[in-house]
Amino acid sequence: MLNALRRRQILPHAVLAIGVLISLFPFYWSIVLATNTSADVFRYPPRVIPGTHLVENVRHVLDNIDFFGSMLNTLIVAVSTTVLVLFFDSLAAFTFAKYAFPGRRVLFGLLMLIFMLPAQLSIIPQYMIMAKIGWVGTLRALVIPAAVNAFGIFWMRQYISRGLPDELIDAARIDGASFFRIYRSVCLPMIRPGLAFLAIYTFIGAWNDYVWPLVVLTDPNKITLQLAIAQLNFGQGGTITDYAMLMAGTLMAVVPLLIAFTLFARNFVADLARGAVQG
Contacts of 125 (CB under 8 A, 6+ apart): none
Rounded Cα distance between 277 and 82, Å, is 29
pLDDT digits (tens, 9 = 90+) for 225-239: 999 888 887 655 555
CA distances from 171 to 168, 175, 177 (A): 5, 6, 9
Q: Give CA torsion, residues 110, 116, 122, 125, to 10 deg.
A: -30
State pTM to two decimals.
0.83
Its CATH architecture, for the domain 65-233, is Orthogonal Bundle (1.10)
Phi, psi of 52 (to 5 degrees): -125, 20
The domains of the chain are located at 65-233
**82 exposure class (CB count in 10 Å sphere: 0-12, 13-18, 19+):** buried
Helix (H) or strand (E) holding 88: helix 67-98
CB 242 within 8 A of CB 37: no
The one-character DSSP state at 235 is -
CA 174, CA 227: separation in Å to the nearest integer?
Answer: 53
Percent of the chain with pLDDT over 90: 24
Mean pLDDT within 160-186? 88
pLDDT tens per residue across span 29-79: 888 888 888 777 777 787 778 888 888 888 888 888 888 999 999 999 999
